[in-house]
Amino acid sequence: MRGKNFKVRLLIGAAIALFFVFKRCSQQEVNPYTGRTQTISMTPDKEIAIGLQSAPQMTEQHGGLHPNNQYQTLVDNVGAKLVNNSIARETPYQYEFHLLNDPNTINAFALPGGQIFITYALFSKLENEDQLAGVLGHEIGHVLGRHSAERIAESEYWQGLTTAGSVGADMGELVAGIGQNTLLTNGRDDELESDDLGVKFMIKSNYNPEEMIGVMEILKAAAGPNRVPEFQSTHPDPDNRIERIREAIKKHQTN
């Protein structure tokens, strides 16, 4: 009886796994702006809606918007210059740039669909407009690269396989662990792709791409000696990013 039940569970688990494999295959599409094949489960309009819906909450979590209009205007102008001088202007996304009033968290991030944020803690450490362009160009790269949408679709896929593993052969934890490592690796690849795109956007807008290396040095100093090892983080090690940024500069300056 136990053997029969195990076979039934195995068949059910296999059926669930096949469903999510076929679903993932049906969601494969080529990003027209990067040429990379991705798993995407939502339309650009849905990405824009998610970003607009989430933006007020993210703003509130970081102390609201910074009150200095001159600083915000600089962020707006640099962001607009990067968009208007690159392939980003051809995307359906609604790019908006926000300077957050957070004096402690050194960070910048992008929501799906074009909502881009930089904290005052990071803004205040930047040495020039070119470095600001490096930060914002990187975040535009996340939007254009559809990284959030891809991570959502990939997470759904691995959650489905985890369920299949749990039902079929008590392997849910193993599958979940493999999925987590895969998502971490993919997350690091996203950062490197955004660095590459950011360098390209900077060059197109006549900013000095070497200043993105200065941004990496700022982030490296902020993380300190106890930063999370690369294999446990969604972000590549700053030293590895610097090396790849130098490669991107050579590539895009010769094209």
Give the mean model confidence (pLDDT) for residues 175-199. Answer: 66
* 238: β partners: none
The confidence band for 133, taking pLDDT boundaries of 50, 70 and 90, is very high
Whole-number mean pLDDT of the chain?
80
Residue 81 neighbours by CB under 8 Å, 6+ apart: 133, 205
What pLDDT does 101 receive?
A: 97
Query: In the structure encoding, which two tokens stand for residue 10, read together?
Result: 């195995």
Side-chain half-sphere exposure of 205, counting CA atoms within 13 A: 29
The confidence band for 172, taking pLDDT boundaries of 50, 70 and 90, is very low
Q: How many CB atoms lie within 10 A of CB 18?
A: 11
Q: Which domain holds residue 111?
A: 2-254
Give the mean model confidence (pLDDT) for residues 208-236. Answer: 74
Give the mean model confidence (pLDDT) for residues 17-23. Answer: 51
- Residue 39: name the closest of 20, 25, 22 by CA: 25
What pLDDT does 155 receive?
A: 64
The confidence band for 185, taking pLDDT boundaries of 50, 70 and 90, is very low
How many structural domains are present in the chain? 1
What pLDDT does 87 receive?
A: 93
* Helix 211-223, helix 172-204: angle, nearest 10: 140
pTM of the model: 0.78
Give the mean model confidence (pLDDT) for residues 4-9. Answer: 57
The confidence band for 170, taking pLDDT boundaries of 50, 70 and 90, is low
